Structure formats: structure tokens, C-alpha cells
Structure 1
């Protein structure tokens, strides 16, 4: 028993460390979006503020730090990312589905070769795909001269859609292959024997069966396109997507507006996942009830009919929501009690930073060093460091620095 307890303790510790490593940075980044400081940090905490979700602020040194709602670069990058993601879905899903159907139709000897060729793009580095796409279409635009071909051949959004489709269609292909492996082809044969055409078989039998795979591949294709960077940064040319905008901002210094954007994306992802899970469980419950009802009607066995009395039960998720609300209310009360929330707190913090900045400027002005003090050796002149630089012949005959004749 002791060994079992020790094993459970080790396993629980490992799971805790793994989840902390996985979700810890996301939680920390989400908290920093509510700090009024110019740099995202938890400590020192200035004030609880929504400024980074709104218009941002003017820093004490005069620099404008845009918030999430006023940063036009993030807005423009988001719109272009949505356009590119939609274009990739429109191209990648049909390509992946067509390739998977062809894989089931080719001869068994060619199936391995066709499968290897189909998954090969995902093995190429994204940098190579982006550069090769730009080079290819630049040559095509040059050959085509001025006109429509030249315009699309040098359009960053069009090139990014093509470059991402090259490897994202492989993801869709693998999803459709996994779905088609469980498909009973005798259904198509029966439909053809009953007089259906190939088009009717495709739209009436195959497409409905592939609908879960179509939905899954569309979601994966859109998400893979939305977060892609290594291919996009080379193929987007002068345009920018959301990922490239964030990367450029991080190079110049990360802003709390990025933390606010991350929190918004995390929240939307969690909401979408919860809604999907609720709908899936509800559909599974209804499906099980229909199966039980159908089985009872076919057998007329009263033992198979479950007499269920509907009683009110509080969902377990309600307890989690109540716990989060209680913790949130308690934390908000502590912020208000310690004067860490509100316009007064923000104004006091800004005044303290401005006064500190003014003191630093006055100190620098008082400690200005003139040229005479430097030449006299009082401040960093020849007399420092034991007067090792006072010898006029120190660099004579040293690599040709002092070659003048005395």
C-alpha cells in the first residue's frame, strides 16, 4: 500500500509540474495585461487597469503606447490573418480530400509511393517553402509582364495562401485518410447497382460520411494558417499578418497590449471548446436515448425500457463557476481596499514615475562633464588607471597606429 501511495504521489507531482509548465506562462501573461505598468510584469504591481484593452497610454517620457483597441497594426494584421486563413481552408480541404480519395482508388503497388509524395511537403522547412513560393511567382510575374499575372505574382496575401496550402493540405490529407479507412465501399457499389450516378454517390454517400473529417480538417487548417510564422514571414512581402506584427513588436520591446491580445485569444478558445464539448455531450445523450428507444420498439421487451424520472441536478460546472466568482470578488475587494484599482491609483503611479524621471534628468544635468575636465585627467583622463596611458610612446610602432616621425 505504501508503494502505491508513493507511486500516486509521484504521478500527481509529475502531472502538476507538467500542467504548471504548460499553462503557467499563459496565466502569468494574462495577469500582466491588467497591470498599468508600461512593461508587462506582475511585480512590482502598480494598479489594476483596463487601459491595455482600450486606448493605452501616453508614457511619462512622451511615448505613445497603444492599447488593444487602438493599435491599428494589430487590427490590420488580424484582418489579413483571417483572409489568409479562409483562403487556405478553401484550397487545402478540397486538395486533401481529393488526394485521400485518389489514394483509395490507385493500385496497391502505387499506393505507398503516392502516400509518400502526398506527405512530403510537411517534411520541408517552412522557410524553404516561403522562399521558393516567392521566387517561383516572381519569375511567373516577370514572364507575364504587366497586368493581372504581375499583380497576383507579387501580392503577399496570395503568395502566403499558396505557400501555406503546400503543407497544410497534407494535414487535411491525413485526416481524410484516417476517416476513409473505416469507410465501407460496398455502400457505393450498392448505390451504383441501384442506378445512381457517380456524382450522386459522391454527394449522397461519400460527402455525408466525410463531414466530420471536413469540419476537423477545416478547423485545423485555419488554426495552422493563423499561427504560422516561418513560411509567412518570407511570403507575405510588404504586408503583415498578426503573427508577424507581434514578432516585430517583441523585437522592439514587448507591450502589455500583446498580453491583452493573448488573454482575448485564450478566452475565445476556451469558450469555443466549452461550447463544443457541451453540444457534443448533448448530441451523444440524445443519440443514446434514440438507440434505446429503437431497441425497445423492435423487441417490445419492457426490461430494456428504462424508466427515468427527471430530477433537477446542479451541474458540476456550476461549482467551478461559483468558485471562480468568489475568488474574483475577494481579489477585487482586496485591490480596492489596498488602493490598487481606480483612476486615483493610476494617477498617483503616473505622478510618481514623472517625478522620478524629472529627478534623473536633473541629476544628469548637474553631472555634465566638460571637455576641459576630461583633458585635464580629472574625470577619466590620462591619470586614471595608474597613468598607464600617459606614456606618449605607448602605441608607437604598435600595428602602425603611430607612424609619424618625431
Structure 2
């Protein structure tokens, strides 16, 4: 079979709401400075892990979306809608005049509105079924970020929610690119939104041994690839990108922020939560993404690693990068700053990877003080590093052994 010709989906709009800030510019400054965001979380008081990475308290969804609209939405939907609005402003398209039937939305989410679920379950137990809110399902559903983004901007094309655990945001971008490549859509808003830092989810992750226990010093808890790492720090956030066919974007004079030029997906098929220690599934996804882009590992100058700061995951990923890409790529994990935003992580980190290509600067890995001797990659530490390569990799891996890898290229 003849492989398909490489296809570049132009990214013309970026939007972010993360623990590093509200808006792309604020996020990028925080990530470049490598200032962590983890802190004590009053909503988790009394739990085995009582800290997280939250969106800054000055984030006011009611001020942006309107009080009545914000009141109806689950927090993951609020985050996704605000990020989508920023991405639309950035891309220069007017949603009031476009052909909405040719505009799609693909959003990744892993767990839905867990806070809404917990709240309404408590109401059910204490007050009975008649007191459960009629807005419960719309505020909880995994699909509702995609649905509400479409309602907000009049996107009447395919409307999809993808859930591949912590790879969801990257999977969404890969699916969105395919909608452009096969001619189904002319514009796609794609990314991820997650707000699952709620007591039951955090208790479950703590019981599974996935979370850092550095309660005495939360700011230093998210330490990807560090020898003293002990688990990830959960975060919330959203990242949304506007994708168009490159020829269309350039014809209308849009500013192209970069391109999604390759996508690869795979399964470990080994374990429900632990990564394949040999990294075979992740390596397959990397190689598939490179082949899709028509590139080799030697073409990649930067890797934004999944890098969650788990003991097994970081080492397995480092071996994958070394074998599939080589030793020359500058590797970072921005989760040292933002924590792990789960289903939104891949989309958020795709934005950071594009910004690295655009600016020629790779952010350092926050809290990386003593590199694990088993990590055989070139980790960026201390300060941003200038990189001139025009291609980068963004890795995302999730529970269930689900892997999604993006190749991003400079404009």
C-alpha cells in the first residue's frame, strides 16, 4: 500500500486556561520561568493527598461567559469554553459569518464533571431523588465541553468527544486533523478540558499510588524525571486549538502558529494502569507519527514529554525517546509547572510545543534538580534553551495503555 502524502493542518488559533494562568501569554511566561503552581487545596483537606494545581483564583467564568451561562456549566465545560473563545479570537475567523456546517469540534476529556457528580450524589443520599438538579447530566457529561463550544460559536459540523484517559487531548487533535484531511470540515476547534480534582477522584488516585505525597512542600512535588520524584500532581485546565487546511489558512492571510504534521496512536495492551516497561506501544505511536509526517527521528529537535513524574512512567518514556528519536532532541516536561491536567494535558502541551517552535525556546523542566540516572535523554534544566529545529514531538500516554503522539512543525 502506498503511504498517504504528508498532510499539514495549520494551527491558526490558540487558547489556554491552566494552573499557569488564564490566556496563552500568561501561561507561556510562567512555563518559561519554570515556577510551579502546586499548592494546598482546601477542597481536599483531610485526604491522603491534599494539594493540587488549580487554575488561578482570579479566573471568573461568570465574568467571561455571563453569570447564568456559567451557573449551568460544569467546571470542565467552563474551562473549555473560555479557552475556545480565546482560540477563536486568535485565529481571526468570524463565527457569525462562517458556514457552521463546515466547522467541527473535537474535545478530549477523561472523567467528566466529577465535582458535579459528587455533589448531586450527596444530594440524592441526603434529600432524595426529587432534589437532584435537572442540570446534573449536562454539567457532568464527558461530551458537554464539545457540545457547549459548538453552541457558543455555531459550529454545526461533526461534534465529537474523545476519551483516551490522559491522552485524550492529543487524540482529539489527531481526530480533528483527519476531519480536515478527508474533507469533512474546513475548520475544526479541537483540544481538551478537564476539571477532575475532586475528593473521590483524588482519593482513588492516591489509593492507586499515582500521586505525589509531598504535602509539606507541594510546590516541589511535581518533578518530572527527577531522581526523587514520587508521583504526579493532579491539575485542571483546558487547551483549544483552531485547525484549518494550510492552503486555506494562507489564502485568507491568517497567521499560522505552526502545523500538526503527524499523528500516531497505539495501545500497550499490557496493564490497566502501569506503562509497558519496554515501551513498545509508545514507541509504535512515535514511529507512526513520524511516518505520518514523512520525517525521521533525526528531524525532531524538541520533545514535550508526557513526563508525569511517576517512577515507572518517566523511565519508560525516556527509553522510548532515546530509541525512537535519539540523543540529540531537547526534552522537557511542562507538568513540572502545571501538574497533570489529565484529559486536557495533551492539548495544553501541544500549545506549549507550538510556542516553543514559534519562539525558538524550549522551557526548562521545573523541579528537576537531580536527573534520574536511568533517564538517558537530554533534559532541559534551569533555564529555557534556544532550539532552531523546525519539528517537535508531543507525547501523551494514559491509563489503559492508550498512547497518542503528535508531530508539530514550525510555520
Same fold (TM over 0.5): no
* Alignment TM-score, normalising by the size of structure 1: 0.20
* Alignment TM-score, normalising by the size of structure 2: 0.19
* Larger of the two Rg values belongs to structure: 1
Higher strand fraction (1 or 2): 2
Higher helix fraction (1 or 2): 1
